[in-house]
Amino acid sequence: MKIRAALVTVVAVPLALGLAACDNDHQPTGYRPSVPTDTPAAVTAKTTAPPKTARLNRVTFVPAMNSALTKQKSWRITGTMTVNGTVGMTMNGVQTAQPSAMSMEMSGAAFGGKTAKMIQIKNVAYVSIPGTTPGGKFVKIKASNADLGQLIDSSDPTAIFKSFGSNIGSVKFVGTETVGGRALDRYDVTVDTAGALAVQHKKLPAGAPKTLTYCLWMDKSHLVRRMSFDLLSVSMELSMTDYNKPVHISAPPASKIAK
């Protein structure tokens, strides 16, 4: 079916989020979207030497990250994916914790230069795909659809964080870096690839390394502000901003839902 095939395509694009990995000495390249003022537009090349104060480690990293995140009711997600240095997709949306909901727009070459939209509220999503769904309309899909589950997980940074757990191999404090005028602590977190993807309901792609390293930038409260990766020819930058700002996510009106 045409709509199902298009949904699979939408899933495949942000699926790279589930493979978030970076080279420790290589910064992602490509377009950096214009987003709220605390969004990191650049990272200074120079990092400070690790201070003598205690830093997070393999045991304390996940509890500290989760503790900070559970205090947040909402946030904005922005991201850019580049392939061989060319922008393939940009993402911009908001997410709430209670109820579990997300509103996301994805645009760029992956969609013929147009914009795909997704609204997810608990176990139901509404997807609008250029050239597939009627203009300006959404298709309603329930969570029992496997493709929908992958789409939601791949667009949700918290799903990536949840995959850490026992899959963490090492946690390395790299240094304090100035990101968008904010001093953030960078950690490189190495995880077991197969185990982390299994938590996200994904299979290990052929040729994928056994371990992957997530690069995360945290503020002093251990709240993740930025994540990036480079994997083969793909680069991804993902930011979480506007924590706890008022957000209202609602389903499209009945007139906007295609039969």
Domain ranges of the chain: 2-250
Does pLDDT of 197 surpass 70?
yes
Does pLDDT of 254 surpass 90?
yes
Domain 2-250 has CATH 1.10.3720.10: no
pLDDT at 29: 34
Query: Closest Cα to residue 184, out of 228, 131, 225, 236?
Result: 225
222-226 LR contacts (CB < 8 Å, sep 24+): 222/56, 222/64, 222/65, 222/67, 222/68, 223/68, 223/69, 223/72, 224/65, 224/68, 224/69, 224/157, 224/161, 225/38, 225/40, 225/179, 225/182, 225/184, 226/40, 226/179, 226/184
**Strand pairing category for 124-128 and 115-121:** antiparallel
CB atoms under 10 Å from CB of 236, counted, come to: 26
Does pLDDT of 52 surpass 70?
no
pLDDT at 153: 56
Q: Which residue has the higher pLDDT, 51 or 155?
A: 155
pLDDT at 45: 46
- Token pair 């953030």 is found at 184
